[in-house]
Amino acid sequence: MSILEKITSEDAIALEDKYGAHNYHPLPVVLSKGEGVFVWDVEGKKYYDFLSAYSAVNQGHCHPKIVGAMVHQAQTLTLTSRAFYNDVLGTFEKYATETFKFDKLLPMNTGAEAVETALKLCRKWAYEKKGLPENKAQIIVCENNFHGRTTTIISFSNDPVARKNFGPYTEGFLKIEYDNLKALEEALETNSNIAGFLVEPIQGEAGVYVPSEGYLAGAKALCEKYNVLFIADEVQTGIARTGRLLATCGNCSCTDKHCSGTPEVKPDILILGKALSGGAYPVSAVLANDEIMGVIKPGNHGSTFGGNPIAAAVGIAALDVIKEEELAKNAFELGELFRTELGKFIERCTIVNAVRGKGLLNAILINDTEESSTAWDICMALKENGLLAKPTHCNIIRFAPPLVMTKDQLLDCVSIIIKTLQQFEK
């Protein structure tokens, strides 16, 4: 096998096209290097990364502290399986549970696996603690959810592209409208076998839908009233992305001053992934307190790679970086600036209808039909102008840069985005 060093973008794309399954539709850019908020293509062109690998790279590309921890651990011990103990996992579990204020953590690798874990945990709790009749447990989910790609998870998706011809589907899920407390209460009232409510604090993949003020707290209160578990999927919104350590954070563990005063929404089960490793390695986790996590006994669940020493070392470093560099605070402040600056442009333009989001998880709504290629064309033009972003759901463009961005860089990006959008004014 020859070394790939001299490959051109065209050749790299042709290779993937010919030898890889076509399960994505990437922007035609071939990246070969990343540092902080920047990535470079194989021809050496530099870009601002405004996707951050779907919010996995919150700490910036190739953060030296995270890479350093990973390299050190990789040279020491990579994998033991959970058949034996390793000397890093416990430290990671202690650090993460103290950070997020839960008794226990169950480590997995990908976000989808962590969601599956949470679903299994919720069902087992419902049978063994709540006393639901065997095989009757229902979990409430929201319309337009995105929780991953496994057969069970796509069973409760309503995206036809993600679902079609992958049946038969897993039973036991009930779908209600997002951001609708009445719908939740009705579902809880009319069904006696509800075990949990699985929700994204902001629906990222659906197009960065921020629910109304008080929705999460209201949902949590309803869950308590009906003795069902509130399960927060913070795979995308967690780890400082939305300007707080967690999007569900109120007066919680985070040292971020912007948290105080907001109502605390403490999930019964918290799902983390993506930025839990800063994008260096697949690391995911489910957190819960003892009365819930205690239902999991040896042999009930597991993963060969879950909790491996590299993942544990990387997870510790990734959380350290979030705290040391005050990335929640930075995301909060830059997010306000981003929406204010874009908002000024939107007031007097025709191409964008709105900007929305929290912290540095934002999206703009393009003024065109869902079937139009305008959002894609804008992303192609943004690429030409040195900024990488991707449409989500046709006419929505998500903007989620690494949180290590500076104010000057953000303003530079705003001017690239505005200049590009102006090319599309009608």
Ligand X SMILES: *Cc1c(COP(=O)(O)O)cnc(C)c1O
Residues that bind ligand X (CB under 6 A): 54, 110-112, 115, 146-148, 200, 204-205, 233, 235-236, 273-274
Q: 146 vs 424, which CB is nearer to ligand X?
A: 146
The catalytic position among 50, 197, 230, 233 is 233
Could you tell me the smallest distance in angstroms from the CB atom of residue 253 to ligand X?
21
3-class DSSP state for residue 70?
helix
**Does residue 329 contact residue 258 with C-beta atoms inside 8 Å?**
yes
Q: 117 vs 330, which CB is nearer to ligand X?
A: 117
The CA distance from 166 to 342, in Å, is: 40
Q: At what angle do helices 407-422 and 374-384 cross, to 10 degrees?
A: 130
Examine the residue annotation and report whether 17 is marked as an active-site residue of this protein.
no
The catalytic position among 50, 146, 173, 305 is 146
| Pairing assessment for the beta strands 104-108 and 284-288 based on DSSP bridges | antiparallel
Q: 199 in the Ramachandran plot: left (φ > 0), alpha (ψ -120 to 50) or beta?
A: beta
Q: What letter does residue 301 receive in the DSSP assignment?
A: S
Examine the residue annotation and report whether 84 is marked as an active-site residue of this protein.
no
3-class DSSP state for residue 304?
coil
3-class DSSP state for residue 23?
coil
- How distant, in Å, are the alpha carbons of 183, 315, 366, 372, 402 from that of 376? 34, 34, 10, 9, 21
| Pairing assessment for the beta strands 46-49 and 387-388 based on DSSP bridges | parallel
Could you tell me the smallest distance in angstroms from the CB atom of residue 276 to ligand X?
10
Examine the residue annotation and report whether 274 is marked as an active-site residue of this protein.
yes
Could you tell me the smallest distance in angstroms from the CB atom of residue 62 to ligand X?
19
Could you tell me the smallest distance in angstroms from the CB atom of residue 14 to ligand X?
26
Whether the bond between 168 and the residue before it is cis, its omega within 30 degrees of 0, is: yes
Q: 274 vs 358, which CB is nearer to ligand X?
A: 274
The catalytic position among 220, 266, 274, 390 is 274
Could you tell me the smallest distance in angstroms from the CB atom of residue 76 to ligand X?
26
Q: 42 vs 240, which CB is nearer to ligand X?
A: 240
Cβ-Cβ contacts under 8 Å for 187 (sequence gap 6 or more):
140, 174, 176, 194
3-class DSSP state for residue 132?
coil
Q: 157 vs 374, which CB is nearer to ligand X?
A: 157
Q: 132 vs 312, which CB is nearer to ligand X?
A: 312
Residue nearest to ligand X (CB): 111
Could you tell me the smallest distance in angstroms from the CB atom of residue 383 to ligand X?
22
Catalogue the active-site residues.
146, 233, 274
